[in-house]
């Protein structure tokens, strides 16, 4: 059920509706929009009787939701969500660029890349302290020591930190040191983890699972929103197909597909989406051209020596070239308003 308030409904009227929802034992999710507020209802085991709401002051209509998702949908919020991270945004007018190494390996390695990311004008730095590796014998990340390096990078350059949490204990730590919690492709359906980040005050970067359908991905976002965290960025990072010429198949059609259903911002990861250095820039260009709100790019000063995902890492020079190119494309796709 979705309660659509009248355009002139007062805050007190919205609160009164939320009270009724609570009294019924459900949870209300108010989403203020440019013209009106809508309130999503979750926690109801079956259909909600619209007569509870229809005659309340300020209510325009009570609409049954037949789709599997209630909160990620444009029905609830027709304007795009702009995720605000300090003075940076994802989903707004600017193209969000998140760049950095796959893993934080050493302080020097991370700082050299951070300097280049800062110089490029990007606002977000990425780097894993907890790595979800296929092999238990591969480098697993520096853990909290890696987070401390990330915190120092934030302090030095003012970059916003995006880093992955693999489990609930990891979320506690990431919340202490970072600005955006990344949920990796392998964790997209770790439902206890999704619920935990749903309770976080930090925005969540939710990667698409390796074999996730659009519905499964959006329902993963729904898990987070249902707990009250509405600051979510979806990230298309490639899916498993029969193709052998790439690590994954970057499904760029996911960008307009998400746009048609959801108000959440969506970004593209051409690094994991291709797994190959020479394909990252072409697919980054394509991602921006198709309407992505941003890019997440792996960068390493010495890709040959990277402890993780070196084959897809851009050098510092290649990265700067990519930024120049995608900015030019973004300018054509979404020209800055004349002020
Ligand atoms: C990463 O960003 O380094 C990563 C592990 O990504 P994914 O979860 O998409 O594989
Ligand atoms: Mn990686």
What's the CA-to-centroid distance between 103 and ligand 1, angstroms? 10
Q: Is the pLDDT of residue 336 over 90?
A: no
Ligand 1 nearest atom to the CA of residue 185, by list position:
8
Residue 184: φ, ψ to 5°: -75, 165
Pocket test for ligand 1, best of 98, 101, 102 (most atoms within 8 A of CB): 102
Residue 96: which of 266, 325, 262, 253 has the closest Cα? Answer: 266
The whole-number pLDDT of residue 334 equals: 82
Mean pLDDT over 2-12 rounds to 96
Q: Does residue 128 have its Cβ closer than 6 Å to ligand 1? A: yes
Q: Is the pLDDT of residue 335 over 90?
A: no
Q: Does residue 207 have its Cβ closer than 6 Å to ligand 1? A: yes
Mean pLDDT over 228-234 rounds to 98
Decide: 246 and 269 in contact? Cβ < 8 Å: no
Residues of the chain above pLDDT 70, percent: 99
Give the pLDDT band (50/70/90) at residue 339.
Answer: low
User: Which residue carries 């300018």 as its tokens?
Assistant: 331
The predicted-structure confidence for 16-44, as pLDDT tens digits, reads as follows 999 999 999 999 999 999 899 999 999 99
Residue 207: CB atoms within 10 A of its CB come to 26
Decide: 99 and 296 in contact? Cβ < 8 Å: yes
Q: Is the pLDDT of residue 209 over 90?
A: yes
Residue 129: φ, ψ to 5°: -100, -25
Decide: 207 and 235 in contact? Cβ < 8 Å: yes
The whole-number pLDDT of residue 27 equals: 96
CB-based contacts of 3, cutoff 8 Å, min separation 6:
17, 28, 38, 39, 41, 53, 59, 61, 62, 63
Residue 30: φ, ψ to 5°: -75, 130
CA 305 to chain CA centroid, Å, is: 29
Q: Which ligand is nearest to the CA of 133?
A: 1
What's the CA-to-centroid distance between 125 and ligand 2, angstroms? 13
What's the CA-to-centroid distance between 80 and ligand 2, angstroms? 28
Taking the C-alpha atoms of residue 62 and residue 4, their distance in angstroms, rounded to an integer, is 6
What's the CA-to-centroid distance between 135 and ligand 2, angstroms? 14
* Selected residue with higher pLDDT from 135 and 334: 135
pTM of the model: 0.97
Ligand 1 nearest atom to the CA of residue 296, by list position:
2
């Amino acid at each position: 059920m979705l309660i659509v308030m009248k355009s002139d409904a007062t805050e007190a009227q919205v609160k009164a509706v939320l009270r009724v929802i609570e009294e019924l034992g459900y949870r209300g999710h108010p989403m203020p929009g440019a013209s009106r507020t809508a309130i999503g209802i979750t926690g109801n085991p079956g259909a909600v009787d619209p007569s509870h709401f229809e005659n309340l002051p300020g209510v325009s209509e009570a609409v049954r939701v037949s789709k599997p998702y209630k909160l990620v949908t444009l029905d609830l919020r027709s304007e795009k969500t702009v995720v605000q991270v300090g003075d940076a945004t994802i989903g707004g007018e600017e193209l969000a660029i998140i760049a950095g190494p796959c893993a934080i390996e050493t302080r020097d390695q991370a700082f050299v890349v951070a300097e280049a990311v800062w110089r490029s004008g990007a606002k977000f730095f990425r780097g894993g302290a907890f790595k979800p590796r296929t092999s238990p014998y591969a480098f697993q990340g520096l853990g909290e020591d890696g987070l401390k390096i990330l915190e120092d990078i934030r302090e030095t350059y003012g970059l916003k930190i995006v880093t992955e949490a693999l489990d609930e204990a990891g979320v506690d730590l990431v919340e202490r040191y970072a600005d955006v919690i990344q949920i990796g492709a392998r964790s997209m359906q770790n439902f206890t983890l999704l619920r935990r980040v749903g309770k976080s005050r930090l925005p969540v970067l939710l990667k698409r699972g390796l074999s996730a359908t659009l519905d499964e991905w959006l329902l993963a976002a729904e898990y987070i929103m249902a707990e009250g965290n509405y600051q979510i960025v979806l990230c298309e990072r490639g899916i498993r197909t029969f193709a052998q010429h790439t690590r994954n198949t970057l499904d760029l059609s996911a960008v307009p597909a998400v746009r048609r259903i959801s108000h959440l911002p969506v970004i593209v990861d051409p690094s994991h989406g291709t797994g190959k250095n020479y394909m990252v820039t072409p697919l980054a260009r394509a991602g921006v051209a198709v309407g992505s709100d941003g890019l997440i790019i792996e960068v390493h000063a010495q890709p040959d020596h990277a402890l993780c995902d070196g084959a897809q890492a851009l050098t510092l020079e290649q990265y700067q070239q990519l930024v120049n190119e995608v900015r030019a494309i973004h300018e054509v796709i979404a020209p800055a308003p004349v002020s």
